[in-house]
Structure 1
Amino acid sequence: MFNGSHNFAIHGGTFNSAGGDVHIYEERGERGLATLYHHTSTSASYDAGARYPPPLCHPGTRQAILQDLGYWANRAAGAHNPPIRWLYGPAGAGKSAIAQSFAQTCAENGSLLGSFFFWRSDPSRNNPQCLFTTIAMQMAIAIPELRTIMDTAVIQNPFAPTSFIEKQCDALIIKPWLDLQVMVQIKARIHSELRQRWNNMPNVHRNLVPESPQWPSSVRARILILDGLDECCNENNEWQRILSNLALLCQKFNLLVRILVCSRPEPRIKECFAGSGYQNICQWMALNDTYQASNDIRLFLVDGFQKILIHHSHSMEHIPRPWPALEQIEYLVHKSSGQFIYPSTVLKYINEDGDVPADRLNVILGLEAADHGEEDSPYADLDALYLQILSKVKKRALFLKVLAARLAYFGSPDLLIQLLGIPVGTLHATFSGVHALFQDPSPIGSDLQFAHASFPSFLVDHNRSLHFHIDISIGHDFLAQRCLESYSDLLGFRDDYTRERWANHCALASGSDKLMAMLDSLPVYAAITRAMPYGDHPDWRSYLANLLYLILQIRYKFKDKCGQQLQHIRDIVTVGFSVVLVLKRPLDFVEEERYTIYVQYPSHLSSALASGSLHDGFQVLMNYLDSQIAQIPQRSFRPRHTLPLDISARHIGLGLTKGLFFVEFCPLPYNWYLLY
C-alpha cells in the first residue's frame, strides 16, 4: 500500500487498494496520516506497482550522468553546486530511465526524500493536485522525526490535502520541515548543554553522552525527484506554479533538499527555469552526447541483439555470424541521434515473433528518413520507423478509430477496452504486428498503453504521421456515442465514467451525424440530473457548474445543428433553467423542504464563455453565479425564491448543520418571473 515504506503503520479504518482490502487499525492515533494518504497518488513513486516494470538504464550505460548526479547529491549546496538540477531532452532521450535509476540508488543509500513520475494517461499523475500530498506522505515515511509533525499538521488543517497546490506546499512541506528544523536546533542545544555539564563533572565517563545528536536522518540533505513535468497538464500555468513552489523550498526557506526535475525542453518550462526565481539555484543538464550517449546506445544495441539471437536461435540458424555486422550497429547508433527511443523500438520490432529477425533488420536498414519538408528534422528516422511498423496494419480505419479513442480517453486505462464495445478478438487481430509501439505483454494486454510518449505525439502531427494522422475530435465523437448509448431512462448512465464524462466528450467531438442524432434523442434535463453525484454529495456545486459550462460549449459548437433536444440545449444557455434542491434540517429525518433556483445568463457572459475568450470559463461561471447570489437579501431565504448555490454563511445564520442538496435539473418555467 505504501510503496517502499518501512516501520510505518496507520491503525484504524478500512482502506481499499488495487491489491485488495487493506485493514489499518488506528492504535497509534495517526488520523492525519490516514487522511493524507487518501489524497496521494499511489502510482507516482519510483517503486509503485502501477509502473512495473519501470524504465531503467541498461547495465553499464549512463554512467557519466549518474555519477554526476551522485556527486551533486552528496556535496553541500553552493554557488558551484546549486540545489536544483533540470535534466532536459527530447522524447526518447532516456530521461525517465535516468530518473528511475537515480531514485533507486538514492533509496538504497537512504537519501531519497520522495519521487513523483508524471504520466498524462494517469488521472492521479497528469495534474499537480496529488503532487505535494504524495511528497508529504513520502517525507513522513523517509524521515521518522517528521511523522508526528505531519500527522499533527493534517489533523489541525484537514482541508490542506484538498487545497490549491500553493497551500498544500506551505502546509504539508514547508511548515512541517521548518518545525523539524526547530526541533533539531532545540535538541542540539540541549545536547550541547548536557555534554558540557557531563564533561565538567569529575569521575564521569565522558562517552556517556555522544559527541553529536543521533538524528542523522533529519539533518542531511535529501533528494526529491520529479520526472516528466511536461506530462502534467498546463491549462492554468501548472508548470509555473509547481516550479515556483519548488524554488521556494531552496531559495526562500533554504531547506535541506536537492531537487531533480526531468522534462522535455518545452518553451514554457524553459521560461520558468530562466526566470529570476531560479537564478543561482538551478543548473541545467542537457541530455546530449556530452554524457557519451552514443557509447551507451552502442552497448545497448549489442546486448539487445545478443538476446534476440538467443530468443530466435532456430529461425536464425542460417544467418552468418557475427550478426549484426559492426557497420550495421554503427549505422543504427548514428540513426539514434543520441536518443534511446530509436534503438529501443528497433530492438522490440526485430524481436517480435512471426518473421526472421535478420529480415526485419534489413527492412530497418533500408528505410529512408521521412521527409517533413524541414531540414534536419530530429524525428525523421524515428518517424520512418513508426511508419514502417504501421504499414503492417490491415484494418486501418478501425485501427485509427481505436487510437483516436485512446488519445481522447480521460479515465483509467484498464476500463477503456470495455468502453470501446469492440470484441476483444477483433482488437487483437487489428493490432497484431504493432507490438513494438505498445507496452508489454501486447497492445490489448497492456490496455493500449503506448511504449513511449513520442508515439502519440507522432500520431497527432499530420506532417509526421501522414496517412496515419489522428484527429482526436473523432475519438471524442466515438466515445461520446458510447457514453450516450449506455444511458437509459430507468437506470441513467451505466457507470461513473460515462456519467461523469459524456458531456466532456460531446463538447470536444467532431459532431458526426450519428452523434447529433443521439444528442437529439437524449432527454437532456433528465440526463443532466442523472449525471450529477448521487446522494448528499457536498461538492455538487462544482459538478453542476462544470456541466453547465460543457452544455454551453456544446450549444455554441453545434449551434447550426437542429433538433428538438438540441433546442433544449439552446434553451438552457439562452433562456435559462431551474434547479430543485432539498434542505435537510438537523435532527429532522423525515420532513424535507424543497426550493428552486431560477437562473438566466446575460448574453455577453454566455457568448464569451462559449467562444473560449475567457481564460477559465468554469471559474467565471462560478463567480457569476456567486455574484447573483450576493444580490439576494438574507431574509429573502424562503421557499419558491431564487436561492444561492453557496449558502454556507446563510446556513450559519439559520443555525443549520446540514446543507442544500441537489435533486433535479429542470427547464425554466415560462412564468418563472411570477414566482418571486
Structure 2
Amino acid sequence: MSLPVPSIADRTKNWLRPPKRRLRSSSIRPVEGTGSFSNAQDFIVNGVFELLEPYACLDATKDSSARHPPPRCHPETRLKVRERLAKWLSNDEWKMLWVRGSAGTGKSAVAQSFGDSCGEEKKHGASYFFSQTAGRNRLETVVPTIVYQLAIAIPEYRYLVEHQLANNPLLLRNSLPVQFRELIIEPFATLQRQNPREPIAIILDGLDECEGEDDQLELLDMITNALRTNPDLPLRWLILSRPEAHLKYAFSKFTDCGREELIIDAACRDDVEKYTRERITQIKDKFRKFTPTDWPPTNQLKELLETVSGLFIFASTCLNYIGDPKETNPQSQLNSLLAFLRRSPGVMSRNPLSALDLLYSRILANIPFTVFKETRQVLAYMSYRRYVSKRHIFNSTQALCNFLRLKRSDFYKAVDGLHPVMSIAEPEDAAQSPLQFYHASFQDFLLDTNRSGKFAIDEQEAIVYMTQLCIYWYEVDVTHFHTNDGWDFDENHAHDSLPGLTWASEDNKLPLSRSMTCFLEHPLSQDIVDMQWDGVVEDLLSQLSNVDFRCWMAAYVLGITLLCRPDNSTSVVRTEPSSPTDYQLLEYFNLVIGNGIAQPALFPLKYHLPDGQWNREYFFIGHGAKSVIVWRTKSATSYPDQAFTLRCDVEPSQVQIRKYQEYLLQIKWDEEKAKLEMEE
C-alpha cells in the first residue's frame, strides 16, 4: 500500500481509549478474541473510522464537500432510466447493473440522483465517484472507502469489521482482493445468514477514470467473482462508465448483469431542452435587475438549444457561462457565447467552453503516443466527411478501415481511446455499421486550433490526407479494371474486389470494394475547392507525378486537379505544350474539336466555368506517356460543364468525335459566338 500512514500500534493508542458510548446490536455480537485486541467489543464507535480514514478517499463519496455541488438530474429529466434503476434495486433479477454512456451524457448526474433517492429510502450503502482530475482514481482506496460508508449505514456490519481489523491489524495493508473478501464479502455473508436484509446499493461512478485498465478490470473481477460465489448477498452494484472497449468486453463475459445505455436520442434531446429552459429561467430570475423581460430572444434561445442538443455537459457548460455570477450580465454572456459558437471574428477574454474542452483534451491525452498517428488519420476522415454527401460517406467501419489502409488490429488500437466520444462497432458488426461522433461538439473542438491546441485537426491537412488515399485507391481501381473503358467508363464498377484490402473475408470483400469505389466517385464538393490553401502541397504533386492518367475518368482527373490545387508553373500540370507527348495531345484535341476555338485554362481552376459565357479551356496533366489533355466546354446558356480527356498513345476514335459533337449540340454550342467572345 503506497499511502503513508501511522503504524497500527500508534493508531490503537487512541482507538482503545475508554469508550464514551457503545453501540451494539441485539442480534449481532463480535466474536471474542485473544491477545491485545480481545476487548474488541469495547471499541469506541469512531475507532474503525480512524483506522479506515487514512486508506480511504472520502472525497469520492456521494455527499462529500469536495464534490459540492454535485451534478444531479433535473427533476423532469432522465425519468425512464431513473425509474428502471429503482425497479432494478427492488428485484433480484440482476445483482449488478452497468450503465454506459458517452462523455457528457449525464452519467454522474444519474448516479448522484439515484444515490440520493436510495439514501432517502435507507437503501444507500456506499458510493465512489471516480475522477482523474480530482485525484479520485486510485484502486487501493476503493475498498476502504466503501467499507467506511457501509460501517456508517449498518451498525451490525460495523461491529464485524471492527472484529476483523482487531484480529488482523495488517488487513488494510493486504491486497485488495483480500480486503474485499474479509471486509465486505465475509461480514455480509455472516449478516445474511443470521438476519437477511433488503438489498442496498453500492454505486461506482466513472469506472473508466480509475487509474489504468488493469485496475479497472481487477475491481470488476473482485465484484463478479463475489457475485458468483456469494449470490445471496444483499449488495447491488451499480457501475457507470464510458463505453470503453475493454469494459465492454469484460461485461460481455459476465451474464448475470443488467445493462443500460444513455444515448443521445429524441428523449435525451427533450431532456436537455427542459434542463436548458429551466436554467435560463433561473438565471433570468437571479439577474432580473440586469435582464430585459423579453430576454432571451426567441431566435437566440432556439440557436442555443440546437447547439447543445442532447449533450448535458455541453448545455451545463454554456449555462454556467451565461449565468456567471462574476459577470452579472447574462444578456452579454449569451451574445458572446453564440458569437464564439459561430466562430465569429473577434477575440474573447476567455473560452466559454473551457470545461468541455478540458474533458475532450483529457480523452485525447489518454491515447498512447504509439498509436496517435493512426488515431489522427481516423479523425481526419471524420472531419473530412462533412464535405461529402451523406449518401456517399462510409456506412461500413470495415470499409473505412480498408480505405485508410490500416490492418484490423491497428485500426482498433487507434480508435480504442475514442469510445467516450465516438460510436465504434465491434469487429463482428463493423461491415454494417459506420463510425459516428456522439455529438457534433467534439468535431467543432477538433477543428478549432484555439480550443484543441496540439490535438487540432487542420482541415487542409485532413483534405490532403484523404486526397492522397483517393488517388491511391483510384489508381488501384483503374489500372486493374478500367484500362480499356475509355470514355465509356464503367461507373458501376461491375468487376472483382479491389486488390490490397487489409481486412476482408471471401464473403464481404466485394461489397467492401463497392463501398470504397462509391466513395471514390464523390470525393469533393465546392466547399472544399473554395477553401484557401497555403501554397502547393508538395506531397500531392509528388504523388501525381507517378500517376497514369490515361485510364482515369475525365471527371475524376478534373476533380483531383481541383483538389490538389497545382498551378501551371509545376511540371505536373501545364497549360502550354512542353514535350512531343503534349504536342501529340494537342493535335488529337484539335481533331476532336474540329480545330475550333479553345484557350489554356486559367489557374487556379474553378469548380465550374463562369455562367453566361462561352468557354472552352484545356490543360495537360501527368508526365511523359502517362499524360492526358483535359478540357471543359460551356456555352452561354448551358449548365453545368462537362470534362473530357484524351491520351497520347491512342488516336481519337470516330465514336469519341461523334460523342463530343453530340455534346456540343446538347449545350447549343455556337462556334462563331464563342470565337468572338473568347478572342476579345
Higher radius of gyration, 1 or 2:
2
Query: TM-score, normalised to structure 1's length?
Result: 0.46
